[in-house]
């Protein structure tokens, strides 16, 4: 089943897509005049994981760092802003966001039932569905903030794109494969791509997730309640952002020219079985900058 959130006559409603037509989820009526919203427009929370070894290893290699051994010991995540959700269509960014503005190609799940202290063997039953996620990131802000070792803040709290719809697990049975050795939970052979202005810049596969969503759920729910509507992202697939691609490019060719998202760019993400999610990056009409508000203190 493909579930959507849509706007109709000023109301946010839930629907089901069937054979290219939208039907209201509650009364079954066909809907013809609507605006497609984020698959989960008002999540209770959003956790974003770090599940793809290729991305982590490449990003660290590009900075001259060895692979961190703790990656293989436990799955981690951080919380991002659940009040900055976009669906298909325009995404508005502030001036500082355009200082190395980046996409992140991810898969996300939404929790379908309440749970706490969920064991990995049961965790997949808590997943209501899967969707595409674009964790837009302002790298200059992010890298400055992370020097303080508290994690991302303004560099990642302005726009998370979820959509175009939520696909229930039964729809993905044909793509199910075994998880990686030493891991537990459902895994799927779903090709993932990202295009910017019609040019493919990233290609990966959900099968490359080292940590499964079941394992992430187990850790996330330890001593904590998960509720219907909570969203969990996979983290970036290998090659799934300009930060990684630029680093690899410069490592291989000192003359490599970095690429970042610009106002007017169109981003299209595609994942097998989950659909196609397109956004256009637009600039807010302001010159307000928090990067210019940094306080500089001279040594006495």
Domains (range + CATH), the chain: 1-37 (2.30.30), 38-287 (3.90.850.10)
Q: What is the mean pLDDT of residues 244-262?
A: 96
Q: Which of 283, 284, 286, 281 is nearest to 89 (CA)?
A: 281
The mean-pLDDT minimum among 80-94, 188-202, 281-295 falls in 281-295
Q: What is the mean pLDDT of residues 205-210?
A: 98
pLDDT of residue 151: 87
Q: What is the mean pLDDT of residues 38-48?
A: 98
Q: What is the mean pLDDT of residues 198-208?
A: 98
Can you say how many angstroms the Cα of residue 94 is from the centroid of all Cα atoms in its chain? 20
pLDDT of residue 299: 53
- 106-146: pLDDT as tens digits: 999 999 999 999 999 999 999 999 999 999 999 999 999 99
Distance between CA atoms of residues 233 and 217, nearest Å: 11
pTM of the model: 0.96
Average pLDDT of the chain? 97
pLDDT of residue 300: 45
């Amino acid at each position: 089943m493909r579930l959507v959130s849509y706007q109709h006559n000023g109301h946010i409603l839930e629907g089901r897509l069937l054979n290219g037509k939208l039907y209201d989820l509650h009364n079954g009526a066909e809907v013809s005049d609507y605006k497609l919203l984020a698959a989960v427009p008002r999540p209770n929370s959003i956790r974003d994981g770090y599940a793809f070894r290729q991305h982590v290893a490449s990003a660290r290699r590009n900075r001259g760092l060895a692979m961190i051994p703790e990656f293989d010991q436990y799955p981690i995540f951080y919380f991002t802003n659940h009040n900055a959700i976009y669906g298909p269509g325009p995404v508005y960014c502030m001036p500082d966001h355009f200082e190395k503005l980046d996409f992140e190609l991810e898969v996300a799940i939404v929790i379908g039932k309440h749970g706490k202290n969920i064991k990995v063997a049961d965790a997949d039953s808590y997943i209501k569905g899967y969707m595409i996620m674009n964790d837009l990131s302002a790298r200059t802000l992010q890298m400055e903030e992370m020097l303080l070792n508290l994690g991302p803040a303004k560099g990642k709290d302005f726009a998370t794109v979820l959509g175009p719809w939520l696909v229930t697990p039964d729809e993905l049975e044909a793509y199910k494969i075994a998880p990686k050795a030493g891991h537990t939970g459902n895994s799927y052979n779903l090709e993932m791509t990202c295009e910017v202005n019609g040019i493919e810049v990233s290609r990966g596969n959900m099968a490359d997730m080292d940590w499964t969503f079941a394992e992430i759920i187990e850790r996330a729910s330890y001593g904590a309640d998960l509720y219907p509507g909570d969203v969990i992202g996979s983290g970036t697939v290998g090659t799934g952002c300009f930060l990684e691609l630029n680093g690899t490019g410069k490592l291989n060719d000192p003359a490599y020219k970095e690429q970042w998202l610009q106002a007017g760019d169109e981003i299209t993400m595609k994942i097998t079985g989950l659909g196609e999610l397109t956004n256009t990056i637009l600039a807010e009409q302001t010159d307000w900058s928090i990067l210019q508000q940094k306080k500089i203190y001279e040594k006495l």
